[in-house]
Amino acid sequence: MSVTLTNQEAVAARFARLKAREPILQVRGLTKTFPTAEGERTVLDRIDLVTHRREFLCVVGPSGCGKSTLIRTIAGLEDPQGGDILVAGQPVHGPGPDRAMVFQGYTLFPWLTVLGNVMFGLRMANMASTEAKRQAGQWLDLVGLEAYADAYPAQLSGGMKQRVAIARALAIQPRILLMDEPFSALDAKTRARMQSYLVDIWSKIDITVVFITHDLDEAVLLADRILVLKANPGAVVDLIEVPALRPAGGRSLEDPALKATLSRLEDMIHRHERAATDDEETITPVVRLAAAGDEVN
């Protein structure tokens, strides 16, 4: 006899499965400061976070809260002044193949074809050209761009360029995909399409996503959990579970549970924006497949 779960029970079961997975990313007491004319400025103040395997985590917060600094520090591109970052239990002391980054801007090499861009990391890892080409082709197929393998970045739309960037990042088979506002430069229609592409890709492979966004709608539509930061200094306000499943057609902001979550986020962000100063953030940074039955819903 089959038992039909209520939506609330199904959501609870999904989070129970998520939390039963091993931690992939652990951030403990992370502190980051930068020198200014007035002295040391604390950008991140004792950040604590645990992210589990195959989780989709979004990070939101007002301008100046250190979202980009946080993800760059996790990537190993910035050195913290205090605390620890562990990936699969191993301390982070710089960039590594267990983490890959997708930036807001289009960071493709214009002189390489689409296939050449996706092959780049594999060739840098001394993989033979024939095997690198085969694997790169599989990733292009996954992001739906196999027909554009011989095209150059200048011939692609913005959304297609970011799909190539995602394929290039995933080709090295990292444990964690770090994304710093990757869709913010896209128009609304392309952005929605890219969100759908990303969730579809993430659901098929063994990858944990940490996604920075200033768009609260985007966070609610994409995330399992949402880390909320405040500014001056950047610190954790809350870690919110998004109380919704992932139906075949994607989430909708008409879902009452998502509306309530969005309202809660807006209130939290605006309350801390009012409490903080208006200072801008001034620091600018100088295929492993999912196991069968390992569902993300």
Query: Is 70 exceeded by the pLDDT of residue 2?
Result: no
3-state secondary structure of 54: coil
Buried/exposed 1-33: b ≥16 CB within 10 Å, e otherwise: eeeeeeeeeebeebeeebeeeebbbbbeebbbb
Question: Does the global pTM surpass 0.95?
Answer: no
Give the mean model confidence (pLDDT) for residues 39-53: 91
Query: Is 70 exceeded by the pLDDT of residue 119?
Result: yes
Cβ atoms of 94 and 118 within 8 Å: the answer is: no
Please state which of the four CATH numbers 3.30.450.70, 3.50.50.60, 1.20.1250.20, 3.40.50.300 is assigned to the domain occupying 7-98+174-275.
3.40.50.300
Residue 286: per-residue pLDDT: 46
Query: Is 70 exceeded by the pLDDT of residue 1?
Result: no
Give the mean model confidence (pLDDT) for residues 30-55: 90
Pairing state of beta strands 39-52 and 23-36?
Answer: antiparallel
Cβ atoms of 178 and 100 within 8 Å: the answer is: yes
Lowest average pLDDT, out of 32-41, 181-190, 220-229, 285-294, goes to 285-294
Tens of pLDDT, residue by residue over 66-86, are 899 999 999 999 999 999 999
Cβ atoms of 62 and 265 within 8 Å: the answer is: no
Phi, psi of 149 (to 5 degrees): -55, -35
Give the mean model confidence (pLDDT) for residues 211-215: 94
